[in-house]
Structure 1
Amino acid sequence: MKSDRLLSILLLLQTRGQVPARELADRLEVSVRTIYRDIEALSASGVPVYAERGRHGGIALLPGFRTDVTGLTQDESRALFILAAQGAHAALGLDAALGSALRKVMAALPERHRPAAELTSRRILVDSARWMVGARVAGPAAVDLDVLQDAVFADRRLRLRYLHSGDAEPSTYTVDPYGLVSKAGVWYLVADRRGVPRLFRADRVRSATRTDAPVKRRPGVELADIWGVLKRQVEDRPVGVEVTARVSRDRFALFVRINGHRLAARPEDDGESEWIAVRLGYGVVGEVRTLLPFADAVEVFAPPEAREELARAAAAVTELYGTRPGAGIGSARR
């Protein structure tokens, strides 16, 4: 998030004085060119920042300049406190550092913005990692996220009409929301139903109504706690069928975009062969038919029943198009 990066640059320069552009780029995991663009943006917004060229140069603020971040609006303050999933920071050993940084920023916020920022950190969570297996790309949301967000921040119960995968009609639930989670770009409502944690995909919510009843959350339980439990339940779910296959290198990028959620392990790529080996997870054998659009760019090796399923599907297509002439639209209507 650019606003987060600009604030990080500003705070680093305040605490460190002159900092080389390369060091800023490494700390913030962006290119040096991006750092210089950010410096131009800060300068354009009135921050007295300058770059000094040469071996011992760097980027610095004019002496005497300080900021207490009081120029942030309420929405900007809330945006800074949308937490990333804990695992993203734990993997780098930065969980404690993240908490410390947020406390410092919270102390610098205008007093009137602190309650909203603190509440946002407990109600919205972003997890950028893809699901290991089984999650599908989100369709268009039937309900505006603002409706769900409104109930989450108002601490009120929600009445949902929710369409489960494979069901023809939606089911109705009254739930106690803990917050919203964005998982790899797909939004979920995390809530208790009768005291049991549940995960509701936003694009499957057909209608949502905020009730007047106050939310009933379990004491001491936070959004991040429930999300950790629910995520493990999804990712630890046993795969019904594991398929071994190979994918043509020239179609591999498209294959991953469409089937990346099915990958059960890291693809095996020697960097030279025209084929890349993959392992895929499916609930049932029949789901391997989703590989048919790739035709001969994907070859399945195992299990045998997966090969047989694809062979039957291909034979049916061949019979439909290859052994008899098309009947025409008029015939189809009759």
Structure 2
Amino acid sequence: MPHLALLQDALWEERRLVLHYEHGGRPPARRWLLDPWGLVSKNGVWYLVAAAGGDPRMFRVSRVRGAETTPEPSRCPADLDLAAVWARLQADVERLWGPLLAVRFAVRAEHAEVVVRVCAPQVVGEVREEPCTTAGWRGFSADFRAAGAARGVLLGFGADVRVLEPPELVADVLATARSVLASYGAGPS
């Protein structure tokens, strides 16, 4: 995260920021003029909490494509409760996307980097690596925005990905795979 230090400096120096940010990690980057309020780390993922036109927002630091401080002082409410603002922003994201789905899955080692990269836009936070006992496979967990997003992304990798949890997603993936086979006249086996 090449811009984290600059964001920290803007907070300490109480300076406004011009941020170039890719929403959802997808180009093009949008330009924001922000009053930085704080940095928050959740599960090892850094977020900038800042005001745009007075409205609080959160920005995932790994999606910042450029940043610069301005000579203008930042505007921060004297009674700011960063923890309360953070909780409200998280609740807004959950209302927008619905409850997150915690998913554990295994990936053939040679495809792991591609799978993680393709999953990233459908995940809140980061795709986390975890132990895997199957030789030649790597284990991961992630909080997907919705069951359909997890099914679509993971099933798209065919036999190179195995969904391990939650059981309802495993059943959904199996039912979808059987339906695809049946549509080709191959019937479930």
Q: Equivalent pairs: percent with the same residue?
A: 31
Structure 1 residue matching 2:98: 3-state secondary structure:
coil
Distance change (3 Å), C-alpha of 1:309 and 1:199: farther
The answer on 1:302 being equivalent to 2:172 is yes
Report the count of equivalent residues.
150
Matches within 5 A, 1:36-51: none
For residues 180 and 246 of structure 1, the distance between their equivalents in structure 2, rounded to whole angstroms, comes to 30
State the partner residue of 1:286.
Answer: 152
Structure 2 residue matching 1:227: 3-state secondary structure:
helix
For residues 18 and 104 of structure 2, the distance between their equivalents in structure 1, rounded to whole angstroms, comes to 44
Matches within 5 A, 1:128-277: 141=1, 143-165=2-24, 167-236=26-95, 237-239=97-99, 253-254=131-132, 257-262=139-144
For residues 33 and 16 of structure 2, the distance between their equivalents in structure 1, rounded to whole angstroms, comes to 7
For residues 73 and 155 of structure 2, the distance between their equivalents in structure 1, rounded to whole angstroms, comes to 47
Q: Which structure shows the higher helix fraction?
A: 1
Q: Normalising by the residue count of structure 1, what TM-score does the alignment of the two structures yield?
A: 0.37
Matches within 5 A, 1:70-109: none
For residues 32 and 86 of structure 2, the distance between their equivalents in structure 1, rounded to whole angstroms, comes to 20
CA RMSD in angstroms comes to 3.9
Q: Normalising by the residue count of structure 2, what TM-score does the alignment of the two structures yield?
A: 0.62
Deviates more, 1:201-210 or 1:227-236: 227-236
Distance change (3 Å), C-alpha of 1:204 and 1:301: same
Consecutive unaligned residues in structure 2, runs of 5 or more: 107-129, 185-189
Q: Which structure shows the higher strand fraction?
A: 2
Deviation, 1:219, is 4.3
Deviation, 1:283, is 3.7
Deviation, 1:158, is 0.4
For residues 309 and 167 of structure 1, the distance between their equivalents in structure 2, rounded to whole angstroms, comes to 33
Distance change (3 Å), C-alpha of 1:282 and 1:215: farther
Deviation, 1:165, is 1.8
Deviation, 1:151, is 0.1
Deviation, 1:244, is 10
Structure 1 residue matching 2:79: 3-state secondary structure:
coil
Query: Is the CA contact (8 Å cut-off) linking 1:159 and 1:211 kept in structure 2?
Result: yes
Query: Is the CA contact (8 Å cut-off) linking 1:243 and 1:281 kept in structure 2?
Result: no
For residues 238 and 216 of structure 1, the distance between their equivalents in structure 2, rounded to whole angstroms, comes to 32
Structure 2 residue matching 1:165: 3-state secondary structure:
helix
For residues 138 and 89 of structure 2, the distance between their equivalents in structure 1, rounded to whole angstroms, comes to 25
Query: Is the CA contact (8 Å cut-off) linking 1:163 and 1:171 kept in structure 2?
Result: yes
Residues 237-265 of structure 1: CA deviation (Å, up to 9, x unaligned): 3159x799999xxxx94499523424x9x
Deviation, 1:176, is 0.7
Structure 1 residue matching 2:26: 3-state secondary structure:
coil
Deviation, 1:221, is 1.9
Deviation, 1:160, is 0.5
| Larger Rg computed on CA atoms | 1
Consecutive unaligned residues in structure 1, runs of 5 or more: 1-140, 265-279, 316-334
For residues 244 and 161 of structure 1, the distance between their equivalents in structure 2, rounded to whole angstroms, comes to 31
Residues 74-108 of structure 1: CA deviation (Å, up to 9, x unaligned): xxxxxxxxxxxxxxxxxxxxxxxxxxxxxxxxxxx
Query: Is the CA contact (8 Å cut-off) linking 1:239 and 1:283 kept in structure 2?
Result: no
For residues 173 and 212 of structure 1, the distance between their equivalents in structure 2, rounded to whole angstroms, comes to 16
